[in-house]
Amino acid sequence: HDELKWGRIVATPVLTVASAGLIPALIGANAALDFADRQNASKMRVACGYEALSHGRILGDVATNAGISMGLTAIDLGLGSDVARVQANSSN
């Protein structure tokens, strides 16, 4: 999972900039990998003697992260605001 995690951290911004049409697929892929990571973490918790994470909590965390990703993607693409203008105004 570590290789997949680092791959998606690097690939997602590159592919997002390369093609805005890939955004739904990228967010879906990230959500699927996030779900798999969290299920693996839940199994590790059980192996260490702790209570497993509930599916509801895992799904809630994945949905929250997907929402944050969509928001950040909208900002990166300039859908929410002009990032260059915000940066210029903040440096004054």
Domain total of the chain: 1
> What is the pLDDT at residue 25?
80
Which residues form the domain of 27? 2-90
Residues whose CB falls within 8 Å of the CB of residue 38, separated by 6 or more in sequence, listed in order: 53, 58, 61, 62
* pLDDT over threshold 90, residue 42: yes
Tell me the pLDDT tens digit for each residue of 53-82: 999 999 999 999 888 877 776 666 555 555
Predicted TM-score (pTM) of this structure: 0.60
Is the backbone of residue 78 left (phi > 0), alpha (psi -120 to 50) or beta? left
Q: How many C-alpha atoms does 38 have within 13 Å on its Cβ side?
A: 18
* pLDDT over threshold 70, residue 37: yes
Q: Where is pLDDT greater, at 4 or 40?
A: 40
Per-range mean pLDDT, top range of 1-5, 7-11, 73-77, 81-85: 7-11
Element (H, E) at 34: helix 23-47
